[in-house]
Amino acid sequence: MRDSVAAFLTERNITGTVYCAVSGGADSMALLHCLWTLREQHHLTLCAVHFHHHLRGEAADRDAQFVAAFCDAYGIPLQTGHADTAIYAKARGQSVEQTARAQRYAFFDALPPGRIATAHTADDNLETALIHLIRGASLRGLCGIPPERGRFIRPMIAVTRQEVLAYLAAHGIDHVEDESNQTDAYLRNRLRHHVIPRLLSENPALLRSYAAASERMRQEDAFLNQQASEALARARQGAAIQCSALLAEPPVLQARAILLWLRQLQIPTPSASHVQALVQLLKSPNPSAQVTLPGNLIISRQYDCLVQCPPTGPEIAPTSLKVPGITPVPALGIQVLCSFTPSDGAVALRVTGQLFLRSRQAGDTLRLPGGRKSLKKWMIDHKIPAALRSRIPVIADNQGIAAVIGIGTDLDHIPTSRDSVLYLSILEKEEI
């Protein structure tokens, strides 16, 4: 085991500060002791970290005391974190397991600079891959636990649990047992107790063979991600994706490219079903189709492009415009300036009565140099996404639409030399 951990540190040039996550269990105690023996050879500044979830009463207190006593005996600095995980999970409607993991990693993230070593073994790696297989994971999930990701390192990822127990016995290192590891309430434990022993009876070298397969799959996954990144670059149009360009790529790259694009947009990775929905959106004959992702995030098909759209929000409530004067429109974060004095960029209108601003309505029509059409048709012609059409300001009076911002002024409302002319400007708040 020690040689395997030493090789891991050497291959990845791990030096400096290393925080070893220690629960008190067999795996973490073996890793802590092993790193302690290697600290001078590899120029490590070793520190132990322990998180107390207050889930198992006196047993959890015992574990914390055990870790503290060991660190004190070996002169290893120890940092601890605490949280009432069960109470926190219940208050937020989350599972205890999910909450505990989130709390641990929040604790880890707050640590000063340095690498964080966790005691995942080859057994853990196979268990994780089987869990992902059962849940229908992609190639990335079947790779199991990455040996290194960000600050986190897994120096024992090639070490079996049997080797861990042999190491502890050889060095006289004690450990504590978490009684929850014996229950079959958790999928991981059921796999550990019942499934993996059967698999090992078929292939005693399963842990080694899977470790080798995992590394090959990880390399293949990295290669496909690189190809997907290049495919995405070819399909990019600014912040959008050109559908026809991405559809020209091999199908195996399309979903990967979409995932990369979502990460670039800082959109949380969606489920596999959402990704497949986005792939289908690439092929949709509907030029304004859309997919809603978790968090009310919208990806819209705008003709031959996929774009991220803001949530549509409520429509613009009809708002009477002050003539002359300034009228705030909080829903849009703008103000409308009506004046009888010309200004750059202002829309010139013939005054026919009270003006108001609103969203489009069914039956709205607009007469422009191209003829009279429904406002919907004009918006389609101007390639305004369906999700945004209700947010386009419409200026109307009792006779109908006077102007639509970004589209044009109704020809019946264009002033002549005999008319009183009103100048209308849309201003951002900071312009006032």
The answer to whether domain 2-202 and domain 216-309 are alike in fold is no
pLDDT score, position 431 = 40
3-state secondary structure of 337: strand
Consecutive 10-residue runs of the chain (432 residues): their mean pLDDT?
94 94 94 96 95 81 91 94 79 77 84 94 94 87 91 94 95 87 82 93 93 93 94 90 93 91 73 84 84 76 83 71 85 81 82 84 86 87 73 84 86 82 74 38
394-397's contacts with Cβ under 8 Å and 24+ in sequence apart are: 394/316, 394/357, 394/358, 394/359, 394/360, 394/361, 394/364, 395/321, 395/347, 395/349, 395/355, 395/356, 395/357, 395/424, 396/355, 396/356, 396/357, 396/358, 397/352, 397/353, 397/354, 397/355, 397/356
The fold of 216-309 is 3.30.465
389-408 burial by CB neighbour count: b if 16+ within 10 A, else e? bbbbbbbbbeeebbbbbebb
Strand runs (DSSP E) across 305-346, as ranges?
A: 305-309, 319-320, 325-329, 334-339
CATH architecture for residues 2-202: 3-Layer(aba) Sandwich (3.40)
pLDDT score, position 188 = 87
Neighbours of 38 (CB within 10 A): 20
The one-letter amino acid code at 85 reads: T
pLDDT score, position 432 = 36
Burial class of residue 39 (count of CB atoms within 10 Å of its CB; 0-12, 13-18, 19+):
middle
pLDDT score, position 268 = 62
The closest of 185, 186, 184, 168 to 176, measured between CA atoms, is 168
**Hey, where are the domains in the chain?**
2-202, 216-309, 319-431
CA distances from residue 276 to 74, 223, 259, 261 in whole angstroms, order as listed: 53, 21, 10, 14
Whose structure tokens read 């649990």?
A: 161
DSSP letter for each residue of 245-276 = HHHTS-HHHHHHHHHHHHHHTTPPP--HHHHH
pLDDT score, position 41 = 94
